[in-house]
Amino acid sequence: MNKSHEHIVIIGNGISGITTAREVRKKSSQPITVISAESDYFFSRTALMYVYMGHMKFEHIQPYEQFFWQKNNIGLVKALVTKVDTSVKEVQLDNGEPIPYDKLVIASGSKPNTFGWPGQQLKGVMGMYSKQDLEYLEACSPGCKHAVIVGGGLIGIEMAEMLHSRKIGVTFLVREAGFWGSVLPSAESEMINRHIREHHINLKVNTKLVEILADSNNNARAVVTDKGETIECQVVALTAGVTPNIAFLQGSGIELGKGVKVNPFLETNIRDVFAIGDCAEQHEAIDLRKQVEAVWYTGKIMGETLAQTLCGNRTAYDPGPWFNSAKFFDIEYQTYGWVWPTPRENEVQFYWEHPGGKKAIRIAYNKNTRTFLGINCFGIRMRHQFFDKVLREQLTVDTVLQNFEKANFDPELFTTYENDIRAAFQKNHSKLMTANGY
């Protein structure tokens, strides 16, 4: 078959799948069909919280006009894929319709984790990942006086802010000793703990969910914790992470682990079948990254990379140095490189926190070579380009501190703290800082 006429079918219209479709279309006229049961059109998943909070309407988080897809000859099918038959190169839809493919891209995303808690099937119990989750929360919110959030990660704190914006009382159950304690060092975790509580969220650390209790109408009415406490509520948000959405691939012959197993070129074990985004699992971890990464920007990079391969330029996936960002109520968070909760062998960490308790940085570096390894930033916005260069070129921590004002994203808007940070660093961490330049 002429490559220009090969039919590319993409399962999933999130950032990974849609990036693939758009990038392929820029390079070729190959037929493209995107299948999704979640929504008619691509939307920004990270902005769902702002729809609930009233800052946006749902149409505002759809970055492309509806005519965009027809204009660019990208077919959209709203349906659920129930089966993939690789022997005849066909996907089956829940309406019974088969769709043939020449190249198949699995970009089916994630689903919220559930751990078999008694009562997790009750009405009023939900995750927060999909458009349907948002609609269900909207339906459950009227009359809700109190909600319980289970899981101390990024989705959990977003849910806390969402519910708080509707003046709904919130109890936040976190199994670690502090918020996101598996990722953040204890000082930063404690700073966010304080910030959460300042917003009148009842944060309970070292606390696990045991069961969800039902009322006579099968609605959630309370949760029971491992501390023996019963907390009355009308909504229970299960936000203890996500897992790849791959159940429909059982029996397809496609190799599965936690996610869909892929090589560095995002290829599965089946010819002409690829996987990207939250559902993809690298056979071998890249650098220190997890083999499954449910991160917006890596999904986008995977889509861009795979589009090259689909258009004849076989390209390996290279996400570059690790970074991520989030918002904890009023505190913005960015991380570049690797900063572990506890320093690893040959690592040293430097921590600075502003007396106001809302701004902080932590820098990790190699104690032998003084190579900069990573930084956590709270309440101070930094430039991605600066730290990407530092990490790629393996520059020293001294070079970073000398040039710290170049890293500040918006010095004209915010008071700068470079001198305070440098002074604190020099007191305990700095050898004579040589003028290496940048």
**Residue 435 pLDDT exceeds 70:** no
Total structural domains within the chain: 3
Q: CB neighbours of 15 closer than 8 A, spacing ≥ 6? A: 42, 45, 277, 296, 299, 300, 303
Give me the mean pLDDT over the 318-344 stretch: 97
Do the domain assignments include residue 438? no
**Residue 1 pLDDT exceeds 50:** no
Same structural domain for residues 105 and 248? yes
Among candidate residues 277, 310, 343, the one where a domain is terminated: 310
Same structural domain for residues 96 and 135? no
The residue behind tokens 């005519």 is 67
Strand order in the sheet with 230-232: 209-214, 220-225, 230-232
pLDDT of residue 416: 77
Q: What is the pLDDT of residues 154-206, one digit of tens each?
A: 999 999 999 999 999 999 999 999 999 999 999 999 999 999 999 999 999 99
Give the CATH number of the domain where residue 229 resides: 3.50.50.60
Find, among 155, 203, 202, 205, the residue nearest to 175 by Cα: 205
pTM for the structure as a whole: 0.94
pLDDT of residue 432: 42
Among candidate residues 240, 255, 285, the one where a domain is terminated: 240
Per the prediction, the chain carries an average pLDDT of 94
Same structural domain for residues 252 and 107? yes
Same structural domain for residues 149 and 230? yes
**99: β partners:** 91
Q: What is the pLDDT of residues 49-62, one digit of tens each?
A: 999 999 999 999 99
Find, among 373, 293, 368, the residue nearest to 335 by Cα: 373
Per-residue pLDDT band for 419 (boundaries 50, 70, 90) equals confident
Domain of residue 198, residue span: 125-240
Same structural domain for residues 84 and 147? no
Q: What is the pLDDT of residues 210-267, one digit of tens each?
A: 999 999 999 999 999 999 999 999 999 999 989 999 999 999 999 999 999 999 999 9
pLDDT of residue 417: 86
